């Protein structure tokens, strides 16, 4: 079909135009006509259960996981999108509110492993369930221990889905998760999905990628420019999977001022890799205005995901965020609207 905005020729199943970046959802064929068959002329009966045409092999029906949005309130939301170049969305997320506390998790399936979306789904769900239960049971006295146990629970959930025996390229995933309660945030991660704290007018990276380039530079073996020229520069060195027994890294930060906690996969931050670039992007989205007066979390998350697609959409992109503001005298901070 042709993009209605720039008239470029685009694949019928794309969600965004690769030339101008506009959404093609409104321009795409309605579900009723898609379900009638394939554009190659094959009838509906020649489309298999996975949505592929058995005549030409083209995907006729896109899965719901291609674009997912979840909103807890104007203060907390998440968006995930397949992007423009990948055939499927291997990212997954989870967000939950318990009273005035929140838990968020974002996972990016490692695309070099088989069915990596299985890994990202299992780990995101496992981490979120553990954190939510800990909040409901008021069992977060040691948030670092809770976060460590939550990520271990996610890894255990993945192991239950993996086949026995020496199978190569078992599903693996990165993870970044946040537990926000009692006026502080506890962040745990393995891999290169990131957490940022956005505080007007600045932004701070609260995670450091577990990547080859970071480790080789930290060891003093190469300079940053030298390391970044290596083909394995951005290969991850920690992940969750059957072939990894790594420990997640965990940090705690007090929430001392109004701001926004942002978790995202590399499909987003690759297009804004530095804090300076990310603060510019979040500012454009309106996310660095006053918390009480800024756009809701969903609007900011959508803007960041759409930015990734406008920039090329070479990867899946996922954003989960929470806006926070002061709730008491003395500088204590909790999620906006919390009790």
Q: What is the pLDDT of residue 11?
A: 67
Distance CA 26, CA 38 (A): 19
In this predicted model, what pLDDT tens digit does every residue of 241-269 receive, in sequence order? 977 778 999 999 999 888 999 999 999 99
Question: What structural domains and CATH numbers belong to the chain?
Answer: 1-62 (no CATH), 64-335 (3.60.40.10)
Average pLDDT of span 25-32 = 37
Q: What is the pLDDT of residue 158?
A: 93
Residue 305, classed as helix, strand or coil, is helix
Average pLDDT of span 316-333 = 72
Count of beta carbons in the 10 Å neighbourhood of residue 171: 24
Q: What is the pLDDT of residue 29?
A: 35
Pairing outcome for strands 317-326 and 259-264: antiparallel
More confident residue, 146 or 27: 146
Task: Judge whether residue 14 has pLDDT over 80.
Answer: no
Task: Judge whether residue 27 has pLDDT over 60.
Answer: no
Asked whether 109 and 116 are in contact (CB, 8 A), the reply is: yes
In this predicted model, what pLDDT tens digit does every residue of 45-54 receive, in sequence order? 777 877 778 8
Asked whether 337 and 73 are in contact (CB, 8 A), the reply is: yes
Q: What is the pLDDT of residue 70?
A: 97
pLDDT, the chain, mean: 83
Q: In sequence order, which residues have a C-beta less than 8 Å from that of residue 47 and are 6 or more positions away?
A: 37, 38, 53, 54, 60, 61
Q: What is the pLDDT of residue 4?
A: 41
In this predicted model, what pLDDT tens digit does every residue of 155-189 receive, in sequence order? 999 998 877 665 677 899 999 999 999 999 999 99
In this predicted model, what pLDDT tens digit does every residue of 262-289 receive, in sequence order? 999 999 999 999 999 999 999 888 866 5
Residue 299, classed as helix, strand or coil, is helix
**What is the band of 35 on the pLDDT scale with cuts at 50, 70, 90?**
very low
In this predicted model, what pLDDT tens digit does every residue of 224-234 receive, in sequence order? 777 677 777 77
Task: Judge whether residue 329 has pLDDT over 50.
Answer: no
Pairing outcome for strands 249-254 and 202-205: unpaired
Task: Judge whether residue 87 has pLDDT over 50.
Answer: yes
Task: Judge whether residue 22 has pLDDT over 50.
Answer: no
Backbone conformation region of residue 291, classed left if phi is above 0, alpha if psi is from -120 to 50, else beta: alpha
Task: Judge whether residue 12 has pLDDT over 70.
Answer: no
Q: What is the pLDDT of residue 15?
A: 58
Distance CA 120, CA 232 (A): 23
Q: In sequence order, which residues have a C-beta less than 8 Å from that of residue 136 and are 6 or more positions away?
A: 98
Lowest average pLDDT, out of 35-44, 87-96, 122-131, 139-148, goes to 35-44
Task: Judge whether residue 3 has pLDDT over 80.
Answer: no
Task: Give the whole-number percent of the chain exceeding pLDDT 90.
Answer: 54
| C-alpha separations of 317 from 72, 103, 179, 264 in Å | 20, 20, 22, 7
Average pLDDT of span 40-47 = 76
pTM over 0.85: no
Task: Judge whether residue 336 has pLDDT over 60.
Answer: no
């Amino acid at each position: 079909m042709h993009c209605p905005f720039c008239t470029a020729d685009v694949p019928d199943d794309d969600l965004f135009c690769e030339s101008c970046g506009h959404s093609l959802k409104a321009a795409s064929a309605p579900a009723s006509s898609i379900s009638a068959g394939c554009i190659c002329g094959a009838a509906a009966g020649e489309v298999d259960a996975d949505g592929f045409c058995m005549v030409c092999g083209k995907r006729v029906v896109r899965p719901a996981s291609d674009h997912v949005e979840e909103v807890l309130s104007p203060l907390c939301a998440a968006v995930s999108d397949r992007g423009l170049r990948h055939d499927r969305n291997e990212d997954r997320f989870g967000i939950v509110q318990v009273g005035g506390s929140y838990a968020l998790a974002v996972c990016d399936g490692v695309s070099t492993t088989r069915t990596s979306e299985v890994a990202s789904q299992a780990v995101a769900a496992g981490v979120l369930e553990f954190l939510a239960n800990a909040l409901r049971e008021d069992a977060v006295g040691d948030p670092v221990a809770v976060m460590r146990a939550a990520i271990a629970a996610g890894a255990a959930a993945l192991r239950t889905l993996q086949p026995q025996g020496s199978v190569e390229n078992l599903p693996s995933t990165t993870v970044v998760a946040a537990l926000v309660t009692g006026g502080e945030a506890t962040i745990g991660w393995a891999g290169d999905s990131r957490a940022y704290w956005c505080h007007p007018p600045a932004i701070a990276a609260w995670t450091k990628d577990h990547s080859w380039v970071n480790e080789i530079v930290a060891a003093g073996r190469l300079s940053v420019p030298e390391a970044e020229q290596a083909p394995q520069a951005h290969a991850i060195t920690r992940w969750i999977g059957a072939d990894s027994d790594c420990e997640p890294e965990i940090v705690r930060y007090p929430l001392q001022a109004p701001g926004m906690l942002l978790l995202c996969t590399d499909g987003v931050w690759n297009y804004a890799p530095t804090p300076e670039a990310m603060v510019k992007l979040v500012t454009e989205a309106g996310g660095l205005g006053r918390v009480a007066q800024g756009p809701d979390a969903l609007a900011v998350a959508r803007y960041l995901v759409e930015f990734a697609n406008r920039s090329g959409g070479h990867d899946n992109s996922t954003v989960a965020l929470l806006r926070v503001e002061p709730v008491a005298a003395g500088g204590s901070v909790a999620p906006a609207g919390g009790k």
